[in-house]
Amino acid sequence: MIATRKLIREREDFEQNAPDYIFAEPIKTNIFHWRATILGPSDTPFEGGIFILDIICSDEYPFKPPQCTMKTNMFHPNISSIGKIYIRILEDDWRAVLTIENILLSISSILDNPAMDNPINHEAARYFRENRREYNSIVREYTLKYANEFPIYNENEQNLPSDPDIVYTELNHSLFCDIHNEDEQNLPPAPAM
């Protein structure tokens, strides 16, 4: 019950106060399973990217951190090739007062400022340390190739694929245009839902 109450409160707080570069909400029928989106920070190789995460809380939440997985393929020292995320607040620094919003803010902050004390993607860490220009080029390539669509998920939890189909709604189509400074009239219309 504690987990359910806290997650409901977090959802309400998130809707009211979240910064405009992160978005998260529970899958409609499961308050313990959230999908989140982080927009890539401006003036970084992640700029314009739309990074999708899967967040699963156990019934021991908030006393144990949620399991967070990056669903968008990316090249980053703190994110493995299978989406495992290493940030301290998901490990040793977790406290029951922390929230899903805190996690997303931390992930957003490490995008351009990786925590290099314990990387899990050693190739990305090596490039970051030894050849920042090449690192930025690879990150940009991944961002353009994999992080370019807003997710809309099937609301029926039982039908959720492991990699959800990504489609545009009219709202997300407009947001995509704003992020990429595109004129909506020059893009194909968003598919009807």
Domain-located, residue 94: yes
Domain-located, residue 190: no
Domain-located, residue 13: yes
Question: Which pLDDT value is given to residue 151?
Answer: 56
- The domain of 143 spans 2-149
Going by C-alpha positions, the residue among 112, 124, 107 that lies closest to residue 54 is: 107
Going by C-alpha positions, the residue among 45, 35, 33 that lies closest to residue 4 is: 33
Residue 14: Cβ-neighbour burial (10 angstroms; 0-12, 13-18, 19+)? buried
Question: Which pLDDT value is given to residue 185?
Answer: 46
Domain-located, residue 180: no
How many CA atoms lie within 13 Å of 49's alpha carbon, on the beta-carbon side? Answer: 28
Q: Find the CATH number of the domain harbouring 10.
A: 3.10.110.10
Render pLDDT for 8-33 as a digit per residue (tens, 0 to 9).
Answer: 999 999 999 989 999 999 988 899 99
Task: Give pTM, 2 decimals.
Answer: 0.77
Question: Which pLDDT value is given to residue 28?
Answer: 81
Render pLDDT for 32-91 as a digit per residue (tens, 0 to 9).
Answer: 999 999 999 999 999 999 999 999 999 999 999 999 999 999 999 999 999 999 999 999
What does DSSP say about strands 30-39 and 50-56: parallel, antiparallel, or unpaired?
antiparallel
Strand, coil or helix: what is 28? coil
Question: What whole-number distance in Å separates Cα of residue 150 and Cα of residue 28?
Answer: 17
Count of structural domains within the chain: 1
Domain-located, residue 176: no
Q: Is the pLDDT of residue 183 over 90?
A: no
Domain-located, residue 188: no
Domain-located, residue 187: no
Mean pLDDT, residues 100-125 taken together: 96
